[in-house]
Amino acid sequence: MSRAASPISTLRIGKFLAHAGVASRRHAEQLVREGRVTVNGERLSDLARRVDPARDRVQVDGRPVRPERPRYLAFHKPEAVLSTRADPRGRPTVFDLVRAEPERLYPVGRLDYRSTGLLLLTNDGELAQRLTHPRFGCEKVYRVKVEGDPSEAALERLRRGVVLDRKRTRPCKIRRLGTGRHTWLEIALREGRNQQIRRMFLYARHPVLKLQRIRIGPLELGKLAPGALRELTRREVLALQQAAGAEAPPSGSNPRKPGLA
């Protein structure tokens, strides 16, 4: 008679699929609702079902799911590079620069074409969702150069929040770093709307000239050179998980061909 799996070693199905790199946790749960997931040959409908990565046979659309080794990499995105997998216009992307890395890595919190700085590349879907979703309030910090010299009153309006797309931005922190013909600022956000900082300062009539992300939660860009990539340390990963309130994914498994076999 086989011994039952310990609850400590099991994961809810959505979390398992997210950790396996199949999809984000939300999309993984949608796959279950659509009847596309089986566990040990049984079609699954219960989102609360727990699976043991070491013992249970999980399939999506008939293809086996193999737990993957979680990867966490810091990348310094250069200017004139997209944060997407591919571009129909043929512009260079982050993944053109990191081709040696597994295909299932994806960026956490995109930077626009002109912006530079820290990107986290990972296959940990749950951590990625928590770091980007406004509900979890993970702080991202940017160094920004804007045209002209914004008044303190203008900066205070931006700190309190302005209306973009009929919705007010969340309060943010703005610190003046230096003023001359143009102004350098440090900005800390807990949300990440599309080109939010550029649009905020366009609203204030001080267009952004340069924008660099220097921190995601406790993870700092530091001295990482443009275009360079490095693995996060165990301490850095644990600090990110703690900041996002996420559980550590199961360790082990196949480091080369993860996710759907």
Type and span of the H or E element at 27: helix 25-33
Please, which residues have CB within 8 angstroms of residue 254's CB and are 6 or more apart in sequence? 66, 67, 68, 69
Q: Mind giving me the DSSP string for 199-215? A: HHHHHTT--EEEEEEEE
Q: From CA 161, how far away is CA 157, in angstroms rounded?
A: 6
Q: Which one is catalytic: 46, 112, 149, 165?
A: 112
Extract the tokens encoding 68: 């993957």
Please, which residues have CB within 8 angstroms of residue 45's CB and are 6 or more apart in sequence? 32, 33, 35
Specify whether 87 is catalytic: no
Enumerate the active-site residues: 112
